[in-house]
């Protein structure tokens, strides 16, 4: 179940105004994200790291920002961006894996694009968040069963 907290109606990404503050190192990736990005010709050794504490794959940092940020602060993989980036202007605030997994999303704080631009498609955000939640749950199971090395090799 997805809970979207905060009441934002419209949004546009003003990454130049805020210095692309959402594009931090450590964006969490699903296996599909990794495969898609790898398919663009990137090597996993270059962009991927494993977070042992949270058992999650993440994008490495580069100069304090996401590895995929361009020199004009643009996303260089926009058409293939990770699911987590598609949830903007919301970020994952809390996830709990009880009988039914629950994810809470909260708006980015002090976003200059809030209330401007296109109407937010909450149904799409809910669908992307649900797919992230299920993929991550499956990934945790697979890591327990096979180990992360085997998973990386199978990509």
CA dihedral 95, 98, 101, 103 (to 10 degrees): -20
Minimum distance from residue 74 beta carbon to ligand SF4 (Å): 8
Q: What gap in Å lies between CA 142 and CA 155, rounded to an integer? A: 13
Closest CB to ligand SF4 among residues 72, 144: 72
Candidate list 2, 4, 27, 48; residue touching ligand SF4; CB under 6 A: 27
**Subset of residues 37 to 76 that bind ligand SF4, contact rule: CB under 6 A:** 66, 68-69, 75
Residue 81 or 128: the one with the smaller Cβ distance to ligand SF4 is 81
87 binds ligand SF4, rule: CB under 6 A: no
């Amino acid at each position: 179940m997805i809970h979207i907290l905060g009441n934002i109606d419209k949004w546009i990404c003003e990454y130049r105004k805020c210095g692309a503050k959402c594009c931090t190192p450590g964006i969490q990736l699903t296996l599909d994200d990794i495969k898609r990005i790898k398919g663009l010709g990137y090597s996993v050794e270059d962009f991927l790291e494993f977070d042992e504490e949270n058992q999650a794959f993440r994008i490495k940092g580069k100069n304090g920002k996401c590895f995929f940020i361009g020199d004009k602060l643009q996303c260089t993989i926009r058409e293939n961006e990770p699911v987590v980036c598609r949830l903007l202007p919301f970020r994952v605030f809390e996830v709990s894996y009880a009988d039914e997994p629950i994810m809470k999303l909260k708006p980015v704080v002090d976003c200059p694009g809030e209330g401007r631009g296109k109407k937010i498609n909450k149904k799409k955000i809910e669908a992307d968040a649900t797919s992230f939640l299920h993929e991550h749950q499956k990934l945790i199971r697979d890591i327990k069963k096979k180990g992360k090395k085997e998973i990386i090799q199978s990509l």
